[in-house]
Amino acid sequence: MHQITLIHIYTHNIYILGSVIDIHIYTYVLILMSQQRMVYQQNWSAYDKSQITEKTKFIELLTDLLQNVEESEYGFGRPKIAMRDMLFASAFKVYTQVSLRRFMSDLENANKLGLITHTPCFASVGHFIQSKELTPILKMLIILSSLPLRLVEVKFAVDSTGFKTTKFGEYCKQKHKTNSYHKWLKAHVCCGVKTNIITAVEVSGENDNDSPYLDMLITTTHNNGFTISEVSADKGYTSQYNIDRIWQLGAIPFIPFKINTRTPEGGNTWSEMYGFFMQHQKEFMRHYHLRSNIETTFFMIKSKFNETLKGKTLTAQVNELLLKFLCHNIVVLIHETNELGINTELNNLPMRNLV
């Protein structure tokens, strides 16, 4: 839906993307939005249940999710450990946030429960995370884990954040003005602002610009079944291409304009949104500030699964970062199962149908 219907509180006009219509021509009453600050209450019974059962539910949902991964056929030579077992071990290891050696007791328990068919040694798990073939699989699993919330999320935010590595680089020197500094990776993310579920993610180097990734993120989200009504992003994503692209997908772009933006001419999306931004900044910012939920998402991930990537190679770091996002999505599903009563069936979602 492209139409925004607002009431200008001071002039009593209705603004509908490009034209101002006198309110008296309407015979029905439009309700003015409350100016009071919104207060969000916690559903403590749902929260408590989610926290108490989280670890048990996590391994159950992870096991169901991995049923969508097809195993390769055995050819010859020494049999390999099943892909699902290795994926389970890798994701569960990131979830527990303990060292590989101390993690082995958790893996043995998972084997006794029948969640995996074989217990790999700690070295095998470490080597598996370094595999380049793992990266596209993890991206697809992140998408799969978001699909149960397709009917819940309609408003999305796009942003990026950094995760530091154990390698040294310019990040800490630039950010914290110290002599020691770490290299870091940047995660470009699209997430739903209601539940903080991540619908698409891309990983880049520390110096990559944010703006070019918006198209990829929202297109992936749209193509995998989400109905997008709004997209909010900061000024780093301000461009005519991004605004047009969001509009083409049937959504409204809430991206603030930079101070040096010239007044546009013509009746295109760029000029319409610029007019809305300049004339109704309070209403524009009300929608835009939904973007703060993606900052909450980043805090959730970094506080629960650590902001440091411990892998030594670039591939291992990228995969570890994607595993953090996968674990986050599963935890979100656990909470929303208790909060919204959603169905979290994850074992019948073929990966080949995703974009």
Of 158-162, 203-207, 253-257, minimum mean pLDDT range: 203-207
Question: Among candidates 341, 335, 354, which has minimal Cα distance to 57?
Answer: 335
Question: Quick check: 220 pLDDT over 90?
Answer: yes
Task: Note the pTM of the prediction, 2 decimals.
Answer: 0.83
Q: What share of the chain is helix, strand, coil (3-state, %, to 5)?
A: 50, 15, 40
| Average pLDDT, integer, range 244-268 | 89
What mean pLDDT is predicted for residues 184-198?
96
**Does the pLDDT of residue 157 top 60, yes or no?**
yes
- Which of the two residues, 123 and 170, has the higher pLDDT score? 123
All structural domains of the chain: 1-33 (no CATH), 46-68+81-143+314-353 (no CATH), 145-297 (3.30.420)
| Residue carrying the six token digits 């978001």 | 146
Range with the poorest average pLDDT among 16-25, 88-97, 288-297: 16-25
| Extended beta strands in the chain, E state | 6-8, 13-16, 19-22, 155-168, 182-192, 198-204, 230-232, 252-254, 308-309
When pLDDT is cut at 50, 70 and 90, the band that residue 103 belongs to is very high
Q: Determine what percent of the chain is predicted with pLDDT higher than 90.
A: 62
Q: Nearest-CA neighbor of 155 among 200, 202, 190?
A: 190
Task: Mean pLDDT check: name the lowest of 19-28, 193-202, 327-336.
Answer: 19-28
Q: What is the pLDDT of residue 241?
A: 95
Mean residue pLDDT of the chain comes to: 84
Rounded percentage of the chain residues whose pLDDT exceeds 70: 80
CA–CA separation, 264 and 268 (whole Å)? 9
Q: Is residue 12 predicted with pLDDT exceeding 90?
A: no
For residue 53, count other CB atoms closer than 10 A to its CB. 14
Gap between the Cα atoms of 29 and 34, Å rounded? 15
Band of residue 165 on the pLDDT scale cut at 50, 70, 90: confident
User: DSSP letter at 29?
Assistant: P
Integer CA distances (angstroms), 274 to 16, 230, 234, 257, in order: 13, 16, 15, 7
Position 174 confidence tier, pLDDT thresholds 50, 70, 90: low
> Given this model, what pLDDT does residue 167 score?
64
Per-residue model confidence (pLDDT) at position 5: 43
- The reported pLDDT for the residue numbered 81 is 82
